[in-house]
A and B are shown apart, each in its own frame.
Chain A
Amino acid sequence: MARIVGIDLGTTNSLVAYMKDGQPCVVPDRKGRTMVPSVVALTDNGLIVGDSAKEHLTRNPERTVYSVKRFMGKGLADVQNELAYFPYNVAETGGVIRIRLGQKSYSPPQISAMILKELKLRAEAYLGESITKAVITVPAYFNDSQRQATKDAGLIAGLEVLRIINEPTAASLAYGLQEKTQGTIAVYDFGGGTFDISILKLKEGIFEVLATNGDTHLGGDDLDRLLVDLFIAEIRDRHGIDVGSYPDYMQTVRLEAEGAKIRLSDDLKTEITIELPEDKGRFTRELTRDQLESLVVGVIERTLAPCRIALKDAGLTPKDIDEVVLVGGSTRIPLVRQRVETLFGKQPHCHLNPDEVVALGAAVQADILSGGTTDMLLLDVTPLSLGIETMGGVMSSLIRRNTTIPASAKEMFTTYVDGQTGVDIHILQGERELVKDNRSLARFRLKVPPLPAGVPRIEVTFLIDANGILSVTATDMRTGQSQSIEVKPSYGLSDTEVERMIEDSFKFAAEDVNARKLIEARLDAEALIKTTEKSLAEAGRLVTHEEADGIRTALSQVAAAKDGMDPRVIRARMADLEQAAKNLNVVMLNDSLKKSLHGKTVSEVT
Chain B
Amino acid sequence: MDNNQTSTHPDTRRQLQMARSMCWHCQSEVTGEYFCERCVKVQPVSKETDYFTCLGFPRRLTLDPQKLEAKFYELSRTFHPDFYQAKSKAEQTISLSNAAVLNTAYRTLRDPIRRAEYLLALETGSVKDIRTSPPADLFEEILALQDTLEEYRTSDRDSDQGHRLRATLQTEQEALERRKEEMESQLRQLFADWDKLQDAGEATSLARVERDRILKQMRDLLSHRTYINNIVNDLAATIA
- List residues of chain A with CB under 8 Å of any chain B CB: 1, 162-163, 203-204, 206, 368-371, 374, 377-379, 403-408, 421-422, 444-447, 463, 465-466, 475, 480-486
Contact = CB atoms under 8 A, between A and B. Distances in A.
Contacts of A408: 97, 100-101, 104
Given A374-B83, A447-B3, 4 more contacts: A407-B100, A407-B103, A408-B101, A445-B5
Interface in B161-220: none
Nearest to A369: B85
B27 to A, nearest CB: 20
A124 B110 CA distance: 46
B100 A377 contact: no
Size bin of chain B's contact surface? 20 to 34
A445 B1 CA distance: 10
B11 A481 contact: yes
A377 B103 contact: no
Nearest to A402: B107
A526 B96 CA distance: 56
Contacts of A405: 103
A548 B168 CA distance: 100
Nearest to A463: B100
29 contacts: A163-B82, A204-B73, A370-B85, A371-B83, A371-B85, A377-B77, A377-B82, A377-B83, A378-B82, A379-B80, A404-B103, A404-B107, A406-B81, A406-B103, A407-B103, A407-B104, A408-B100, A422-B1, A445-B1, A447-B6, A466-B82, A480-B14, A481-B8, A482-B8, A482-B13, A483-B7, A483-B9, A484-B6, A486-B6
A485 B6 contact: yes
A466 B96 CA distance: 8
Contacts of A483: 6-9
A517 B107 CA distance: 55
Interface in B73-123: 73, 76-77, 80-83, 85-86, 96-97, 99-101, 103-104, 106-107
B6 to A, nearest CB: 4
Contacts of A482: 8-9, 11, 13-14
B104 A371 contact: no
Nearest to A419: B1
Contacts, number: 92
Contacts of A465: 81, 96
Nearest to B111: A315
B2 interface: yes
Nearest to A480: B14
A472 to B, nearest CB: 11
Contacts of B86: 1, 370-371
A132 to B, nearest CB: 14
Contacts of A370: 85-86
Nearest to A488: B5
B13 to A, nearest CB: 7
Contacts of A485: 5-6
Nearest to A482: B11
A339 to B, nearest CB: 22
Given A377-B80, A379-B76, A404-B107, A446 B6 contact: yes
A1 B86 CA distance: 8
Contact of B11 (A422, A463, A475, A486): A475
B226 to A, nearest CB: 16
Nearest to A400: B107
Interface in B1-56: 1-3, 5-9, 11, 13-14
Contacts of A204: 73
A421 B8 contact: no
B103 A403 contact: yes
Contacts of A377: 76-77, 80, 82-83
Contacts of B7: 483-484
A403 B104 CA distance: 9
A445 B99 CA distance: 28
A406 B6 contact: no
A485 B5 CA distance: 7
Nearest to B101: A408
Q: What are the 7 A-B residue pairs with the smallest beta carbon separation, nearest first?
A: A482-B11, A447-B6, A408-B100, A406-B100, A421-B1, A404-B103, A406-B99
A404 B106 contact: yes
A55 B40 CA distance: 57
Nearest to B14: A480
A480 B3 CA distance: 19
Contacts of B8: 447, 481-484
A406 B96 contact: yes
Contacts of A162: 85
Nearest to A471: B96
A444 to B, nearest CB: 7
A484 B13 CA distance: 12
Contacts of B82: 163, 368-369, 377-378, 466
Nearest to A485: B6
A446 B2 CA distance: 10
